Amino acid sequence: MEYLVVLLIFVVFLQTRIMELRRAVYCLAAQSGIIAGACLVIGIGAGGGLHALLPGLLTLLVKVLFIPGAMLRLIGRITDAREIYSDINVNYSTLAAALFLIMGYLLVDRLLPGTPGRSIIAGSVLMIMTGLTLMVMRKRAILQMVGLITLENGIYLLGLLITDGLPLVVELGVFLDVLIAVAVLVILTNRMSLSFMTTDTTVMKKLKG
């Protein structure tokens, strides 16, 4: 499990430096794949029944295959597949991610000393804060979607650790919410691309007044 956490932290740091939309989606798929692997590890440790393995299988189907596939199809329809300008330099984004990771470890050591899964909690904090940063600082709608899924993955991973596996009904509800949110965002991004010939959300300022 610790190896998965280290790999996950590396992928999140890599996300902060990617400006090309297609690579950002591939990175998101890799991140979700690691989350799916963590779910399967927890499921096997819990006995390996269908209920224990279902979260990992759903994560693999929804967040590794379906959502990235929908985003890649959307990228194939647009002409500007790279973010040129951002509200924050990529070097500052990476530095902020490092500070988030340190903050996660400090929170665990101060509030939950001796808690098992220290690195998992710190990694979850890193994902949540990095996802928020991507949503706020990136201008392309697709990169903002990547931030949203990263945020959700962090919350989901933290929930898995705290509850030792969420109830099946809750997991299905979470996946349904994510599917609906991403479907709506993909449709809106596609309409914005057709109307403004770009997915840069700053053009929405033209609608003021």
How far, CA to CA in Å, does 135 sit from each of 73, 92, 160?
Answer: 21, 15, 24
In a domain, 204, yes or no: no
pLDDT above 70 coverage of the chain, percent: 82
* Lowest-pLDDT range of 59-68, 70-79, 150-159, 193-202: 193-202
pLDDT of residue 83: 59
Separation of alpha carbons 204 and 206, rounded Å: 5
Please check whether residue 208 lies inside any domain of the structure.
no
The answer to whether residue 206 sits within a structural domain is no
| Contact (Cβ atoms closer than 8 angstroms) between residue 92 and residue 18 | no
Q: Is residue 201 part of a domain?
A: no
When divided into structural domains, the chain yields a total of: 1
The mean pLDDT value for 27-42 works out to: 89
Nearest to 34 by CA among 1, 78, 71: 1
What pLDDT does 177 receive? Answer: 78
- Tell me, yes or no, whether 24 lies in a domain: yes
- Whether 16 is in a domain gets the answer yes
Task: Calculate mean pLDDT across residues 94-116.
Answer: 88
Select the more confidently predicted residue: 150 or 176: 150
Range of the domain at 173: 2-80+87-195
pLDDT > 90 in the chain, percent:
28
Whether 6 is in a domain gets the answer yes
Mean pLDDT of 138-166: 83
- According to the model, what pLDDT value does residue 79 have? 66
pLDDT band at 2; cut points 50, 70, 90:
confident
Q: Is 68 a domain residue?
A: yes
